Amino acid sequence: MIKFGNRTDYCKGTVFGWSQRMKRLLTYVFCLSLFVVSLIAWLSNLYGWVLPIELFSHFQAQYFIISLFFILGLLLVSRDQKIQFLAIFTVTIISINILSWYLPFVANQTAENSNLRVLVYNVYKNNESHEKALAMIRKNQADLAVLLEINEIWMQKLKQLNKAFSDVLYSSQINDRGIAIYSKFPLENTSKNLYGKSDKPILSAELTINK
């Protein structure tokens, strides 16, 4: 006589097995995704000056937010404390890249201890709020101001800054992609070039501070 087991127990065991396999799969997916996002965040932060990588360097805050979703998923599907610790550690490392952007006391402390105040400002060629932009530049009391997307109209408006800065360097082509550098320190070994075969200007200069 053959005795069959309880079908309900069999179904429960099957569902439990599938559930465990799904959790393991999701754990691998979340871990791999978190690793990839972290790698992109750190490489783009460390080597953002290389043009192809530079394209990914502008999304540090987004990388941090995405990593939070992945770590939340890991906390839900995995009870492995080692995996949870590594995930939290990874997110903490990513957050270091953006802490100074959003914590006022960190930014102020950095500014107070700095020997050089640098302002990089894309004025935007179609922006007609010239006085507001000039007021913002004066308010920040920058030692070095780099202004982007300068055109002929902006060139005329920016002449008001000549009194506050001892040296001024403009790109040779003043079009919608013009660049202007205003410095309170002497600019030396200046050069004006075009990027590759395009008409995008490049300015370079050397300056010495705290002689």
Residues 120 and 98 in one domain: no
Q: Which of 48, 74, 104 is where one domain is finished?
A: 104
Average pLDDT over residues 111-130: 77
Output the pLDDT for position 56: 84
Residues 61 and 11 in one domain: yes
Output the pLDDT for position 2: 46
Residues 60 and 128 in one domain: no
Output the pLDDT for position 121: 87
pLDDT tier for residue 15 given thresholds of 50, 70 and 90: very low
Evaluate if residue 10 carries a pLDDT over 50. no
Output the pLDDT for position 8: 53
Q: Reading across the β-sheet that carries 178-183, which strands appear in turn? A: 118-122, 144-150, 178-183, 167-170
Phi first, then psi, for residue 146 (nearest 5°) are -115, 115
In the chain, the number of structural domains is 2
Residue range(s) defining the domain that contains residue 153 = 116-206
91 domain residue, yes or no: yes
Mean pLDDT of the chain: 78
Residues 135 and 85 in one domain: no
